[in-house]
Amino acid sequence: MQLIEDLKWRYATKKYDATKKVSEEKIAQLKEAIALAASSWGLQLYRIMDIKNPAIRESLKPHSWGQTQITDASHLFVFCSHTTVSDQDTDDYLALKSKVQGMSVDDLKGYGDFMKMKINEKTPEQIVPWTEKQTYIALGNALAAAAALKIDSTPIEGFEAEKYNEILGLTEKGLTASVVLAIGYRHEEDATKDQPKVRKSIDTLFESY
């Protein structure tokens, strides 16, 4: 299975070659893989900020523990989760579903009402953890797709979300920064690139009942 070999190849790249850029064709493929990620109800309650401006990336670096991947990687994605979920989010999804699948919105009303009921049962304190779970599924797609494309990647949780929210104006968009993904090509001087991958055995991870 080629995917297994790709996943063995990937690692959390510590040092990027800032002179090497990922082609726009591969970035487009990566974005499509992210868009195809599974999500609860199919709502995709997240957005991904593609940080292209070097000055913005420099401003984010001090709030990312000074990690060089923030500025040296070819591309930087900030995965952002919805902080609230409204009935309009469900209605927008149903309108899209109706258009794509050739169904009547009226025929989807019962399904939509059930979705709204279950979502509205969640407290405000439960919403962000729920949307973040969906965001991380999308991140998983990105990591696997990058490995298949032989693009290096680094998922980064070591950052100050409040500062990212402020710099990127996320709060007023109803979003919060959840996880960062650096994308590019490993530097030959990255000391970790040839280290054996450390993972628990299959027997340790899985139990049979």
Residues 110 and 155 occupy one common structural domain: no
Q: Give the CATH number, domain containing residue 142.
A: 3.40.109.10
Residues 141 and 64 occupy one common structural domain: yes
Residues 21 and 117 occupy one common structural domain: no
Q: Is residue 193 part of a domain?
A: no
Residues 144 and 55 occupy one common structural domain: yes
Residues 34 and 113 occupy one common structural domain: no
pLDDT tens per residue across all 209 residues of the chain: 999 999 999 999 999 999 999 999 999 999 999 999 999 999 999 999 999 999 999 999 999 999 999 999 999 999 999 999 999 999 999 999 999 999 999 999 999 999 999 999 999 999 999 999 999 999 999 999 999 999 999 999 999 999 999 999 999 999 999 999 999 999 999 999 999 999 999 999 999 99
Residues 54 and 106 occupy one common structural domain: no
Q: Is residue 157 part of a domain?
A: yes
Structural domain boundaries, residue 155: 17-84+125-187
Question: What domain count does the chain have?
Answer: 2
Q: What is the pLDDT of residues 30-65, one digit of tens each?
A: 999 999 999 999 999 999 999 999 999 999 999 999
Q: Is residue 153 part of a domain?
A: yes
Q: Is residue 154 part of a domain?
A: yes
Q: Is residue 2 part of a domain?
A: no
Among 121, 140, 175, residue at a domain's last position:
121
Q: Is residue 68 part of a domain?
A: yes
Q: Is residue 176 part of a domain?
A: yes
Q: 165-171: long-range contacts at Cβ-Cβ below 8 A with a sequence spacing of 24 or more?
A: 167/56, 167/59, 167/60, 167/63, 168/49, 168/51, 168/56, 168/78, 170/49, 170/80, 171/83
